[in-house]
C-alpha cells in the first residue's frame, strides 16, 4: 500500500504558518535567519528553514516545490528516508552557507535533499509505473540550474529543455540532473551543494536497501 504524504503535508503546513508569522511579525526574521554563531545563537543552524528572506515569491515557490517534491519522495522512499534526506540537504546547505558567509534563509536546501535522493533512487531503478516522480525532480533541478546561472529567463529555458529531454530520454534527463547538481555546487550555489548531499546520502540509502530482503519494511 502506497504511503500517504503525511510528513510532506506537515512540512507544508509548518512552512505556511511560519510565512504568516514572518509577515505578521517581521521582527522574527533577523532573529531566525542565518547569522553569526559566535554569540551562542545556535538555533540559527535550524531556524533559517522557517524564514523565506527573499520575499513572497520565495514563499510561494518553496511551498509549491516542497509539496510536489515531498509528495513524490515520501511514497517512493518511505518516511524515515524522507527525514534523512530532508536533514541531509539542510546540513549540506547550511555548512556551505556558513562557509561562504551567505546570510538569509529558506527551506529550498531541504527540498533539494529530497530531490537529490529521488534522482538517485530513480536512476537505481525505482521508477515504478508512473513517470510523475521523474518529471517533478528533473523539472525542479532544471529550474534551479537555470535560475542559478541566468535568473528567471534561464529557469524558464531550462525547464522547457528538460521537458523535451524527458519526452525523448527520461533516464538521460536524470543523469543530466546529477550533472546540473555538480555544476551548481562548483559554482558555489547552495542548491547544488544540497542536491549533491541528497544524492550522496540517497546513494548510501539505496545501497543499504539493496542488501536487505525484498520483504523488508520501509
C-alpha span between 40 and 109 (Å, rounded): 23
Query: Quick check: is 128 in a domain?
Result: yes
Say what the alpha-carbon torsion angle 36, 41, 42, 47 is, to the nearest 10 degrees. Answer: -90
Query: Quick check: is 218 in a domain?
Result: no
> How many domains does the chain contain in total?
1
Query: Quick check: is 1 in a domain?
Result: no
List helix spans (H) across the chain: 6-24, 28-32, 56-77, 79-99, 108-123, 132-168, 170-186, 190-210
Domain that holds residue 31: 6-210
Query: Quick check: is 201 in a domain?
Result: yes
Give me 36's grid cell.
553569526
Q: Write down the pLDDT at residue 127.
A: 56
Query: Quick check: is 55 in a domain?
Result: yes
C-alpha span between 48 and 45 (Å, rounded): 7
Please say whether the beta carbons of 118 and 72 come within 8 A. yes
Query: Quick check: is 177 in a domain?
Result: yes
Q: Write down the pLDDT at residue 38.
A: 82
Query: Quick check: is 216 in a domain?
Result: no
Q: Give ∠ CA 63-66-69 in degrees, rounded to 5.
A: 145
Per residue in 86-145, pLDDT tens?
A: 999 999 999 999 999 999 999 999 999 999 999 999 999 855 568 999 999 999 999 999
Query: Quick check: is 215 in a domain?
Result: no
C-alpha span between 183 and 173 (Å, rounded): 15
Task: Check pLDDT > 80 for residue 29.
Answer: yes
Per residue in 164-198, pLDDT tens?
A: 999 999 999 999 999 999 999 999 999 999 999 99
Task: For residue 159, give the CATH number of its domain.
Answer: 1.20.1540.10
Please choose, from the candidates 213, 192, 195, the residue with its C-alpha nearest in 3D space to the C-alpha of residue 203: 195
Amino acid at each position: 500500500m502506497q504511503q500517504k504524504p503525511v510528513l510532506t503535508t506537515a512540512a507544508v503546513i509548518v512552512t505556511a504558518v511560519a510565512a504568516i508569522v514572518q509577515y505578521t511579525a517581521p521582527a522574527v526574521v533577523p532573529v531566525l535567519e542565518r547569522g553569526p554563531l559566535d554569540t551562542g545563537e545556535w538555533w540559527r543552524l535550524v531556524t533559517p528553514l522557517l524564514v523565506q528572506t527573499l520575499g513572497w515569491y520565495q514563499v510561494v515557490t518553496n511551498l509549491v516545490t516542497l509539496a510536489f517534491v515531498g509528495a513524490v519522495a515520501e511514497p517512493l522512499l518511505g518516511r524515515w528516508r524522507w527525514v534523512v534526506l530532508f536533514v541531509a540537504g539542510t546540513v549540506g546547505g547550511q555548512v556551505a552557507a556558513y562557509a561562504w558567509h551567505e546570510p538569509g534563509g529558506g527551506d529550498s536546501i531541504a527540498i533539494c535533499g529530497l530531490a537529490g535522493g529521488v534522482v538517485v533512487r530513480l536512476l537505481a531503478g525505482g521508477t515504478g509505473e508512473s513517470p510523475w516522480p521523474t518529471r517533478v525532480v528533473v523539472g525542479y533541478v532544471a529550474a534551479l540550474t537555470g535560475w542559478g546561472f541566468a535568473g528567471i529567463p534561464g529557469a524558464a529555458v531550462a525547464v522547457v529543455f528538460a521537458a523535451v529531454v524527458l519526452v525523448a530520454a527520461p533516464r538521460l534527463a536524470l543523469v543530466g540532473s546529477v550533472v546540473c547538481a555538480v555544476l551548481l555546487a562548483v559554482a558555489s550555489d547552495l542548491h547544488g551543494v544540497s542536491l549533491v548531499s541528497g544524492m550522496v546520502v540517497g546513494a548510501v540509502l539505496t545501497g543499504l536497501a539493496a542488501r536487505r530482503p525484498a520483504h523488508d519494511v520501509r
